[in-house]
Amino acid sequence: MDIHEYQAKEILSQFGVPVPRGGLAYSPEQAGYRAREIGGSAWVVKAQIHSGGRGQAGGVRVCKSEEEVRDFASTLFGRNLVTKQTGAQGKAVYRVWIEEASDIARELYLGFVLDRKSERIMIVASGHGGMEIEELAETDPESLRRMTVDPAVGLADFQARELAFALDLSSAQVSQMSTVLKACYRAYRDLDATMVEINPLVVTGSGELVALDAKMSFDTNALFRRPQVSELRDRSQEEPRESAAGDYGLSYVGLEGNIGCMINGAGLAMATMDMIGLAGGQPANFLDIGGGASPERVVRAFRTVLDDKNVEVMLVNIFAGINRCDWVAEGVVKAFREVDVKLPVVVRLAGTNVEEGKRIIEDSGLPIMTADSLEDAARKAVAAAERRAAA
């Protein structure tokens, strides 16, 4: 789960990371009021969406008057901001963050991520902030400093100082950097985060370290024990189908193709999508219904897939272990009748109670195509999609 910049800053500031003074606004008038409340002669107005690259997309501006703050904010509200990370559809802006302008002498990059290879938290830092980490890795890989943290020990003082010195900070700034690093580490660890990023972490003209931008992502599976994090969720920034599927325990990701998929198990889902590609088609989604799928859950999965208007064919591929083929078959038949499915449906069942599942489908009298293997199912689904396209 992602959160907004202002929410990440609020969390990190509670752990000890210095951030600029700012305020949230839901209207142009409120934006002007926030600027007056903060004081000073310059403010930075930032669109709040779940995406990086807002500045390049025109979502960030330094303003020199309250009127300019209001005018720029009015151009943001209700606008779909398109960045390199949002895709062509962009993300809608419903709130903006107003903060005091900072005197920037130098920009740094700082990120905490999970390194699956070492099974450690990895700190990635660079003396060149303000750029996307991918750009840094390509344009200046030598500037990147990496350090892993043993979770049994935590981030040691000597590690924090070593990284700070590697970034060529002054002795006074080394102490500040150590504080920032340890604060970010505690936030990452204590809140089940999957990513903490400060970009840029700036050195001001007076030599202070300040986080000008911040991102945090969290492990969705751990939200049940982090209510203070889960309440920060902003559904307006989520893809509606993915959000609705998640509410019912379904793992759904929308794609570009026309063959809808309903599968149990992430590995089998990936294999099915690959097989569709080998057969000459394109999957419209990734959908894992998980284990123990009841008929009602199958119906919900059908509705989720068919909400995509690009879907021309439905492919159901179930290898039942914890699941039962007869449950899935009952769900397919129920969905066919309740949802009034008009599209071709291909079903491949294997595993627990497979014979009973096949019998349920055959006895239903519905025009459901069955397949004996994954390859057979993919070929039938692609052929059905081609027939519909030709028609």
If one counts every other C-beta atom within 10 angstroms of the C-beta of residue 128, the result is: 17
Each residue of 261-279: b (16+ CB within 10 Å) or e?
A: bbbbbeebbebbbebbeeb
Task: Extract the annotated binding site for ATP.
Answer: 46, 53-55, 99, 102, 107
Q: Are 381 and 315 in contact (CB under 8 A)?
A: yes
Task: Extract the annotated binding site for substrate.
Answer: 264
Tokens of 102: 């900072």
User: How far from 340 is each of 116, 171, 192, 254, CA to CA, in Å?
Assistant: 44, 70, 42, 22
Nearest-10 crossing angle of helices 66-76, 28-38: 140
If one counts every other C-beta atom within 10 angstroms of the C-beta of residue 206, the result is: 8
Task: Extract the annotated binding site for Mg(2+).
Answer: 199, 213
Task: Extract the annotated binding site.
Answer: 46, 53-55, 99, 102, 107, 199, 213, 264
d(CA 239, CA 307): 12
CA atoms within 13 A on the CB side of 338: 14
If one counts every other C-beta atom within 10 angstroms of the C-beta of residue 367, the result is: 9
- Given the residues 6, 185, 188, 197, the one annotated as active site: 197
Q: Are 61 and 72 in contact (CB under 8 A)?
A: yes
- Given the residues 5, 6, 109, 312, the one annotated as active site: 109
Is residue 197 part of the annotated active site? The answer reads yes
Give every CB contact of residue 197 below 8 A, 6+ residues apart in sequence: 110, 111, 112, 133, 214, 215, 216
Query: 144 has which bridge partners?
Result: 126
Is residue 142 part of the annotated active site? The answer reads no
Catalytic positions, please?
A: 109, 197
